[in-house]
Amino acid sequence: MKCYELQGASGFDALKPAERATPKPGPHQVLVRVRAASFNYRDVMIAGGGYAGRAKFPLIPLSDGAGDVVEAGSAVTRVKPGDKVCGIFFQRWLVGPVRADIQDAALGGTTDGMLTDHALLDGEGVVPFPAHLSYEEAATLPCAAVTAWNGLVEASGGIKPGDAVLLLGTGGVSIFGLQFAKAAGARAIVVSTSDQKLEKARKLGANAAINMKSEPEWQDKVRAATDGRGVDHVLDVTGGETTGKALASMRPGGHIAIIGARSGPGGELDRRQILQRGLKVSGINVGSRAMFEAMNRAIAANGLKPVIDRSFPFRDALAAYREFATGKHFGKVVIAIE
């Protein structure tokens, strides 16, 4: 099989094309012909050595991909050859609360990922994707979409019509959050440093779009956009000083999902704000297979289409890495695997 391997955590130049023997599935495994894969910020961190996970090299990178089951082990009953599926991010997290051992089978990190034309996955670690999606669209779901779903729907206790949702930036998690918010009848407020991206967010349904550079006290603008009430939900994908302003944007009793730390260390939670206003805080680490399946039902019911900024051919995987790392994208960057 053809794949790419990260030879180490020394940067993108450590990504090399490779060939391996096509694996044979065991009784509880499936072999998937991968048709598309997509990027998450975690993939950049792993390549650069800035990820706290236990990545093992040489590593086939990327957690997210979609394709066809071509062979299933004798004990596999959930899927069959010909089914169109995605691999789940944590191959062992099927249902229930997060557990420590799920990290031992994280695609593209502690186990080989999806930047390959064939992937050997656990028979319990795949889900059929909505029929109206292409392979490239489905490949965007396993990490960013499930993370946004977990943060807005599962961990928060639910999102209701009329709720206000604050989305930081316009990457994959935030744009899925925008789409899920609108599908639920909620109001979406997007903050970004790019007027061009904010205009795209408006066209996607954002009720308010605020430039963080031109409005350094943007938390005041967020509260104004909710008539002073404050937002019900926050997807905090950035960390740093942004977290404090996000907390100040919230209504009493609101929920903030702590997802990432793209701005680096810091972003300590103000205990006074949390205690005095009864804020709810959840740490989000993608989600389980059950969450993925629930999300897929919502995506199918609403005819939701993931937002893809750019698609690269398999041969240009290194260029795709470099482009994604610039942060210029709106939504997702994918690789089509011939």
DSSP one-letter string for 25-59: --TTEEEEEEEEEE--HHHHHHHHT---S---SSB
State mean pLDDT over 231-235.
Answer: 98
**Is it the case that residue 53 has pLDDT exceeding 70?**
no
What tens digit of pLDDT does each residue of 104-156 get? Answer: 999 999 999 999 999 999 999 999 999 999 999 999 999 999 999 999 999 99
Would you say residue 317 has pLDDT above 90? yes
Q: Would you give the DSSP letter of residue 193?
A: S
State the residue for tokens 């006074």.
272
pLDDT at 302: 98
| Domain parsing of the chain, residue ranges | 2-142+287-336, 156-283
User: Does 87 score more than 60 pLDDT?
Assistant: yes
Q: What is the mean pLDDT of residues 55-66?
A: 95
Give per-residue pLDDT as tens, 263-286.
555 557 888 889 999 999 999 999
Amino acid 238: pLDDT: 87
Q: Sorting pLDDT into bands at 50, 70 and 90, what band is 320?
A: very high
**Residue 240 confidence class, pLDDT cut points 50, 70, 90:** confident
Give the N- to C-terminal CA distance of the chain in Å, as an integer. 12
Q: Is 23 a residue whose pLDDT tops 80? A: yes
CATH fold of 2-142+287-336 reads Quinone Oxidoreductase; Chain A, domain 1 (3.90.180)
- State mean pLDDT over 27-34: 98
- Binned at pLDDT 50, 70 and 90, residue 222 comes out as very high
In this predicted structure, what is the pLDDT of residue 267? 57
Residue found under tokens 């350094």? 216
Alpha helix (H) residue ranges in the chain: 41-48, 135-138, 146-149, 172-183, 195-203, 218-225, 242-248, 271-276, 289-302, 317-325
Q: Which of 201-205, 271-275, 291-295, 303-307 has the lowest mean pLDDT?
A: 271-275
Distance CA 249, CA 53 (A): 32
The CATH superfamily holding the domain 156-283 is: NAD(P)-binding Rossmann-like Domain (3.40.50.720)
H or E, element range at 227: none
Position 45 scores a pLDDT of 93
The pLDDT of residue 262 is 57
What span, in angstroms and rounded, lies between the C-alpha atoms of 57 and 127? 27
% of the chain beyond a pLDDT of 90: 90
Region at 306 (left for phi over 0; alpha for psi -120 to 50; beta for the rest):
beta
